[in-house]
Chain A
Amino acid sequence: MRRRWRAPWWLSPLLVLAAWEAASVAGWLRRDYFPPPSALVGNYRALVGEEELLRHVGATLGRLGVAFVLAAVPGVLLGLGMGLVRPARLLLEPFVSGLYAIPKIALLPLIMLVMGIGEPALIVTASITAFFQITVSTMAGVLQVEPVLLEAARNYGATGHRLFFRVILPAVLPHIFTGLRLGLGLALILVIAVEITAAQTGLGFLIWHAWQVFRVEHMYCTFGVIGAIGLAITHGLEALGAVLMPWREAVWRPR
């Protein structure tokens, strides 16, 4: 059987950049708002030199990492708890569903009021969205475990911690992973957002700063870095999932 051709992951970004380049060079786009990508490549050096790009990347990744762990650990635990314990689910579900819908960036002023201005407030704000996403995905995963698998587990003698660790957890793992992937993406968005709003470091700050000094090229270069981080996160987690769950047919990868 012939293998179906699959577009490499870099194809669509490359096409967009090429179209943009052509439009910009042809003068269809205003160069000072939409500089051609070829002109931006050289700008990275300036960004690294003048604006200490790497320091800001480090700041963003640091916040992202802490925010993600703060979201993932309680999110998975709460999601499992709500999925497994019916009273907990009935009690908490209205809160979770209600808060899930509130844009968490709106909580930043409140959180700064409570926690004081500074890193902790930024990180907590960034982690809340991811926390809800991970909780909801994990809970949904528990509820979607096929009843017949639980029957098989029972008939073949699985109880207590063996039922949990050898049946329920592996059955829910793909859903947890989906939640983590979505959560990490959301955490990145929120970290950038709080940095734009209230930080002196990080890629979000860099975008804001570029706007203030009107360095449009810096802005685009920063977008590029954020995009690359997003891409690495998504593909990295997917690759990790494939290693951890070899039984699972890739559900997410476009085919």
Chain B
Amino acid sequence: MSPKIQLGQVSKAYETPQGPLLAVEDVTLAVEEGEFFALLGPSGCGKSTLLRLIARLLRPTAGEITIRRSTGATRPQTALVFQEYALFPWRSVLDNIAFGLEMRRVPRGAREQVARELVRRMGLQGFEDRYPHQLSGGMRQRVGIARALAQDPEVLLMDEPFAAVDAQTRTVLQEELLRIWEEDKKTVVYVTHSIEEAIYLGDRIALMSVRPRRVKEVFEVGLPRPRKLEMRGWPHFSALALKIWASLRDEVERGMRGGESAP
């Protein structure tokens, strides 16, 4: 079967007052159906831009992106968990989660049921009627994830969802995400800064480089499913982490020397 998501020589340039800025350069990738695909890279390498391209919020300047539709599916193709949360300030937690369903004219009763179930799974009980400004950063991101899961999309796109929470909460949320993912093995593209997170969650890891902004290398994780916390102590885990770090280090250093200027 053909891949679920296919990117062929995709480039994206932003128009800026200083001229076009290449945020993604000539990326070719294939993500398989049911795969948990991690995108790893230093700040500014174009990860968010790539997710927005897949979500069709941006048009590629060159190249092509195809998402294979499952036959007869009426669910949305993608749901994006935004790095900036992007919750609607005027909607309560429950109404934020149900937003996508409401746009699809799912009756109130049915969408409330879905939203309440996600409130439970994301540990947001007691906060159903709060507004986003009354929540901590970690809770806001959980609402963002719940809003995406409520869509039951064919492809779940997540942009550094746990970057803003403390390490303990992150571990709990990662386990919860894996548990949810094991239920239906949805295709996931997951952006992260963290090598450990990418290995712990992902089937494959694409390492993005800063100059040029493209996929530098793709790593097979090769750990069994379901993932267990103790796998982080396995020799294979740390060996892979080291290998990725060796490749990533050049990029981080290059990024710090000013990734913005033209090559």
Cβ of B103 and Cβ of A152 under 8 Å apart? no
Cβ of A247 and Cβ of B133 under 8 Å apart? yes
How many angstroms from the CA of A158 to the CA of B102 in the assembled complex? 9
Q: Which residues of B contact A149 (CB under 8 A)?
A: 86, 88
The answer to whether the Cβ of A215 comes within 8 Å of any Cβ in the partner chain is no
Q: Which residues of A contact B100 (CB under 8 A)?
A: 156-157
Picked from A155, A173, A248, the residue with its CB within 8 Å of the CB of B78 is: A155
How many residues does chain A have at the interface if contact means C-beta atoms less than 8 Å apart?
22
Task: Output the least CB separation between A172 and chain B (Å).
Answer: 11
Cβ of A156 and Cβ of B90 under 8 Å apart? no
Task: Output the least CB separation between A242 and chain B (Å).
Answer: 13
The answer to whether the Cβ of B199 comes within 8 Å of any Cβ in the partner chain is no
The answer to whether the Cβ of B84 comes within 8 Å of any Cβ in the partner chain is yes
Q: Which residues of A contact B102 (CB under 8 A)?
A: 166
A154, A157, A245 — most chain B CB neighbours (10 Å): A157
Task: Output the least CB separation between A249 and chain B (Å).
Answer: 6
The answer to whether the Cβ of B4 comes within 8 Å of any Cβ in the partner chain is no
Task: Output the least CB separation between B69 and chain A (Å).
Answer: 16
Cβ of B79 and Cβ of A247 under 8 Å apart? no
How many angstroms from the CA of A229 to the CA of B187 in the assembled complex? 61
Interface bits A152-167 vs B (CB < 8 Å: 1, else 0): 1011111100100011
Task: Output the least CB separation between B146 and chain A (Å).
Answer: 12
Cβ of A245 and Cβ of B90 under 8 Å apart? yes
The answer to whether the Cβ of A170 comes within 8 Å of any Cβ in the partner chain is yes
The answer to whether the Cβ of A14 comes within 8 Å of any Cβ in the partner chain is no
Q: Which residues of A contact B79 (CB under 8 A)?
A: 155-156
Q: Which residues of A contact B147 (CB under 8 A)?
A: 156
Task: Output the least CB separation between A244 and chain B (Å).
Answer: 10
Interface bits B17-60 vs A (CB < 8 Å: 1, else 0): 00000000000000000000000000000000000100101000
How many angstroms from the CA of A170 to the CA of B104 in the assembled complex? 19
The answer to whether the Cβ of A52 comes within 8 Å of any Cβ in the partner chain is no
Q: Which residues of B contact A148 (CB under 8 A)?
A: 82, 84, 86
Q: Which residues of B contact A245 (CB under 8 A)?
A: 90
Q: Which residues of A contact B55 (CB under 8 A)?
A: 155
How many angstroms from the CA of A214 to the CA of B76 in the assembled complex? 76
The answer to whether the Cβ of A151 comes within 8 Å of any Cβ in the partner chain is yes
Q: Which residues of B contact A156 (CB under 8 A)?
A: 76, 79, 99-100, 103, 147, 151
Interface bits A116-137 vs B (CB < 8 Å: 1, else 0): 0000000000000000000000
Which chain A residues numbered 199 to 255 have a C-beta less than 8 Å away from chain B?
245-249
Q: List the 8 shortest-distance A-B pairs measured between CB atoms, nearest first.
A: A157-B103, A152-B86, A156-B100, A170-B90, A247-B131, A148-B86, A247-B90, A155-B80
Name B's A-contacting residues (CB within 8 A): 52, 55, 57, 76, 78-80, 82, 84, 86-91, 99-100, 102-104, 131-133, 147, 151
Please list 10 pairs of residues, one from A and one from B, whose beta carbons are closer than 8 Å in the complex, sorted by A's number: A149-B86, A152-B82, A152-B86, A156-B100, A157-B76, A170-B90, A171-B89, A245-B90, A247-B133, A248-B89
